[in-house]
Amino acid sequence: MKYRILLIGFGSIGKRHYSLLEKRNDVEYVDIVSAHAEIKTARIFTFLEQIPLSDLSKYHIFIICTETYKHEKNLKYINDLVKNKVILVEKPLSKSSVDLNIHNHNNIFVSYNLRFHPIINKIKKIINNEKILICNAVVGQYLPSWRESENYLESYSASLEKGGGVLRDLSHEIDLVKYICGNIKLISALSSSHSNLNIESDDICTILASNNHSAHIVIQMDYLALAHRRLVFIQTNNLTIKADLILNTLEVTDIHKDLTVYNYDWVDRNYTYKSLHDELLDQSTPKSTITTFEDGNHTMKIIDIITDQYMEKNWLNNS
């Protein structure tokens, strides 16, 4: 079977999805919805609403990668009009949690592609029979360096109204911690904007949480790190684990203090997206890694709670 795909949105992530999908042998074609796309090899629609229902129903897969604040509207529109389709929404799911009646037997997923990093898969195997005692996830990247062709002050990342802020932009870490540790309970958090970036959205956030086995979980994210970092630390009774998702290294120290280093320098920026596409398009196996709508929406509910408290300029105490 060859898949017909509709890509809604053609920013940097939309372009990445397109460049990878249009090369696949199991893809018949990828059409695009965008007012700005200029691709001679694709059929382009300016607005989603201009596509007749009869044509909309011909697609097998829909990928939503518009600005965050438009995700919910796009998702509900497609979900109401098609049935038995696959819908992938770029992370985060939306600006806030989504009240959605999933009908018409559509399968909806959220594109947290870092779940497909081989380091994360290796960690899952290593800790399979271990009890996690501590899990720390740290991510930071200097916002002005994200999109050097535009003024960061005018980007959606700087705007709360458009769904910006580290909580949403860097919500990969919340999803990864849930994927590694299981369901988490929010205990406390502090999200704020007081750096010299002068943006209205949160530029620093620290989250304290736990899981069903009382692990100590800390997630720290910021727009400030001048050297891009993405780290995961895990402590069990028998293992100390350090993962660096920028350098693509994994260090595991066992109870005898023997250190094993795994190097994944062959992983490029497209690897996790290709792996996500592999699972998304493979209809013969269960979707075991990709983030479900329910899981992605749970992440948004955590973000909602923290955002509400941030807007009130208070510490969150949710114990």
Cis, bond preceding 92 (omega within 30 deg of 0): yes
Other beta carbons within 10 angstroms of residue 182's beta carbon come to 12
* Phi/psi at 222 (5° precision): -155, 160
* pLDDT score at 249: 99
Q: What is the pLDDT of residue 121?
A: 97
> Which stretches does DSSP call E strand in 77-183?
86-90, 107-111, 134-140
Residue 143 vs residues 11, 35, 217: alpha-carbon distances, Å: 17, 26, 25
pLDDT at residue 154, rounded to an integer: 75
The token pair that represents 113 in the structure block:
């592609």
- The pLDDT of residue 274 is 98
Q: Which of these, 127, 124, 119, lies nearest to 235 by C-alpha position?
A: 127
Contact 215, 132 (CB under 8 A): yes
How high is the pLDDT of residue 314? 60
Which residues in the chain land under pLDDT 50?
Answer: 319
Q: In order of start, what are the domains of the chain with their CATH numbers?
A: 3-111 (3.40.50.720), 114-255 (3.30.360.10)
Residue 182: the pLDDT is 95
